[in-house]
Amino acid sequence: MPAWPQLLGDLSAGCSERGIVSSEPLPLRGMGDADFTFSAVQALEPYLKHRQQHIHGVGYIPQPVVRFTGERNQRGTLQPGFLTSFINVSVVQPISTIPEHAALIDAWLSVLSRIGLHSQHITIAGMLSVWRRREVAGITLWFRHGDLTLGDAVLLWNTTDPRFLATDIGSGLERLRWAVASRPWPETVYDRLAAVADTETLDALRTATLVAGSGVRPAPRGPGNAVRRLMRREEDRLSGLGFSRVVRWAHEYWSLVKPLGLSHPRNRGLRKPLTHANHGLDLPLVEASARLSRLRRRHARSTLSTCARTSG
């Protein structure tokens, strides 16, 4: 199974070989009315939505994203292939003609071949019908490797002025590793941690680490409430789990594409101290939130026990 740094390096090198420039990821805090960044294509939002020549980034972008829309089974557990947070590896670019879009699809196939997903095993399928979402319309085609959907290629344009045309081609980094390694999904994403903790808990903790480490402050509403919601949902599974180990692992993972604004104090390689002057927030907030949930649960049980003795 390829190491995460190797996979990211091969994707970046493959894009560079095809003349595709690279850009830094967008901030995690979402633009407009979005709580979080949910796709690398948001880098083109001023161009696509508002018909401006300004963009936030272009080319290959390894973008950490947060989405609470992953497919779940009847028990409410995330289906294999879906995560609350992941790295959206994409090529997003303004273009002038549809042949440019086709050329970028061909370039992406070369990039996939470089990481071991060769074009003879990849199919591209989809409907040519146009979808519309407010200011933007598009046509989506899907990449599949055998029975596994890898990602999509989307031709986008502004509904008022179709001359504002763009490409969005990409996948999730975790899903690409899954296809390359052909290993179980939990092991693909969480490595050795998959054997010691529930995947729903790991998903919540790694997302909370990304959110807190990106400098999102706790708040009763909006993005600042995400850590609390994630920890509250998993409070029954958190007892006995080594928080620090998971948080350190998640911190190292997200820092592969862009160093988190807040370092974990126990990470030896990260020397920058945490101070309230820096961000007003410690990354151990994730651990503290988890422990607070556990204490609340214990307090509730104690209160019920006291009431039962009193009534008896």
Say whether pTM exceeds 0.75: yes
- Split at pLDDT 50, 70, 90, the class of 312 is low
Question: Among the listed ranges 108-112, 210-214, 252-256, which one has the minimum average pLDDT value?
Answer: 210-214
Q: Is 22 within 8 Å of 51 (Cβ atoms)?
A: no
Model confidence at 281, pLDDT cuts 50, 70, 90, reads: very low
Q: Identify the three-state secondary structure at position 238.
A: coil
Query: 178 with 81: CB under 8 angstroms?
Result: yes
Q: How far is it between the farthest Cα atoms of the chain?
A: 79
Question: Is 50 exceeded by the pLDDT of residue 206?
Answer: yes
**Which amino acid is present at 194?**
A
DSSP 3-state of 116: coil
101, two tokens: 């879009």
Task: For residue 152, list its beta bridge partners.
Answer: 142, 170
**Where does the pLDDT of residue 197 fall: very low under 50, low under 70, confident under 90, or very high at 90 and above?**
confident
Strands 148-158 and 59-66: unpaired
Walk me through the domains of the chain, giving residue ranges and CATH numbers: 4-187 (3.30.930.10), 196-311 (no CATH)
Phi, psi torsion values for 158, nearest 5 degrees: -75, 135
DSSP state at residue 216? P
pLDDT at 299 over 60: no
What pLDDT score does 304 carry? 45
What is the Cα–Cα distance from 231 to 90, expressed in whole angstroms? 30
* Amino acid type, 127: M
Determine which of 22-26, 235-239, 305-309 has the lowest per-residue pLDDT on average: 305-309
User: 135, 127 in Cβ contact below 8 A?
Assistant: no
Q: What is the pLDDT of residue 46?
A: 95
Task: Name 191's Cβ contacts closer than 8 Å, sequence gap at least 6.
Answer: 249
Strand partners, 235: none
